[in-house]
Amino acid sequence: MTFMYPLPVSVSLSLLCMPPHRPATKIKGNVIAEDQLAQMAKQMETFKVNLEEFATKHKDQIKKDPEFRVQFQEMCASIGVDPLASSKGFWSEMLGVGDFYYELAVKIVEVCMATSHRNGGLIRLDELKSRLEVSRHKNTQEISIDDLLRAIRKLKTLGNGFTIHPIGKTFLIQSVPGELTMDHTTVLQQAQKSYYVTVSGLVDTLKWEKERAIKALEYMLKEGLAWVDDQAEGERQYWFPTLFPDAQTP
């Protein structure tokens, strides 16, 4: 004869509360995953605290050394911290980096506006940097290409007026509304060595249809990005002042 002993009430209730068909291995896996997430969150919080201590200790170096500032920005990005998210708050008050980039953005706008009459609102990043260095006080913080790109990305919040275009090994900054297509950036790449292109040159080099080349060039002419030389031998030449090596002069 077999006797059935009743299970303790606590055990019976726990069995009733368990979801049906849920293997013990799956439950264990979920517990492990939750533990890992908790550990990661704790590690990230520790990293953030250490980063704040590091920033406080190296405050002056972050403000004065552009390369060190880049490394600091990368450390911040690795844990999802954006010191430029606001001009106020812990990071900007402690380091002044928020104010630095916002002030730099204002200067960028001024330079772009001052040169737009000659380049149509398209300026090389290295020219922008040189002009800013001339206009800034000698005792102010040094600026790097990375600083400029970060400040310009902040300006994009104003709308479609500021866009960064990679052209070969450099960047062109567009400071006026308007869309530059792949055809337009390809034309600029072709013009980098001689600073001008022709319709026949684009057709021969890029294997474009003549109509495609004319459409791209006429748009850039209309937008003030190109100048034309109708006195050139052979055919019309389209020159791009933003690529001129002596573009430092107004």
Q: Which CATH number belongs to the domain containing residue 154 in this structure?
A: 1.10.10.10
Read off the pLDDT of residues 162-203 as tens digits, 9 standing for 90 and up: 889 998 888 999 988 778 899 999 999 999 989 999 999 999
**Judgement on whether residues 95 and 54 belong to the same structural domain of the protein:** yes
Q: What is the mean pLDDT of the chain?
A: 77
Q: Is the pLDDT of residue 235 over 90?
A: yes
- Which long-range contacts (C-beta less than 8 Å, at least 24 apart) are formed by 96-99? 96/63, 97/62, 97/63, 97/69
Average pLDDT score over residue span 86-101: 58
Mark whether 129 and 228 lie in a shared domain: no
Closest CA to 221 of 178, 161, 158, 189: 178
Whether residue 13 is contained in a domain is answered as no
pTM score of the predicted model: 0.60
Q: Is residue 192 part of a domain?
A: yes
> Are residues 147 and 195 both part of a single domain?
no
Has residue 11 been placed in a domain? no
Q: Please tell me the predicted confidence (pLDDT) of residue 154.
A: 78
Is residue 231, in this structure, part of any structural domain at all? yes
Q: What φ, ψ does residue 20 adopt, rounded to 5°?
A: -70, 145
**Residue ranges making up the domain that contains 186:** 179-250
Count of structural domains, the chain: 2
Question: Does residue 170 fall inside a structural domain?
Answer: no
What is the mean predicted confidence (pLDDT) over 135-154?
80
